[in-house]
Amino acid sequence: MNKTALELTPEEWKYYQLDDKTEPPNLDLSQRREKAWKLAQNLADLLRSKYQAKQVIIFGSLTDPNWFDAYSDIDLAVWGISAEQFYQAVGMVTGISDEFKVDLIDGETCQTQLREIIEKKGIKILAKDT
């Protein structure tokens, strides 16, 4: 059975990684990961307040310290944003950070297989008042 990229183990990912991809010297990955999490939480709050997002889930390398590296981005799936406002939300989150690339997908309209993986392996970002 074939696997999607989200289903690969860290060991299987090594096959696809470039050999010359090295981490910058003196990079503290735990601090970088913590900064990425804080940014993801802030983005979730913005998506809720400005675009009425009902649910925000983080997925990808940020959910697993073993997968997170110097080149990791922030992958967010969102539910509840109207179709009319979705690309405004994409523009907001993708342009907000110089340090991290941010990807936003619509959890309601993405491919079923991707949605199932996100719902199974992703981490819900709770609202601050929750």
* 22 in a structural domain: no
Taking CA atoms, 100 is separated from 13, 61, 68, 105, in Å, by 21, 13, 12, 16
Alpha-carbon span 79 to 56, nearest angstrom:
7
Provide the pLDDT for residue 19.
55
What's the number of domains the chain is made of? 1
What's the domain range around 113?
29-125
Is the four-CA dihedral 105, 111, 112, 118 of positive or negative sign?
negative
Tell me whether residue 18 is in a domain. Answer: no
Q: Is residue 108 part of a domain?
A: yes
Looking up residue 39, the CATH number of its domain turns out to be 3.30.460.10
pTM: 0.78
Asked whether residue 77 is domain-assigned, the answer is yes
Question: Is 78 inside any structural domain?
Answer: yes
Per-residue pLDDT 10s for the chain (130 aa) are: 577 767 777 777 666 665 555 555 567 899 999 999 999 999 999 999 999 999 999 999 999 999 999 999 999 999 999 999 999 999 999 999 999 999 999 999 999 999 999 999 999 999 886 5
| Helix H or strand E segment including 83 | helix 83-94
User: Residue 101: inside a domain, yes or no?
Assistant: yes
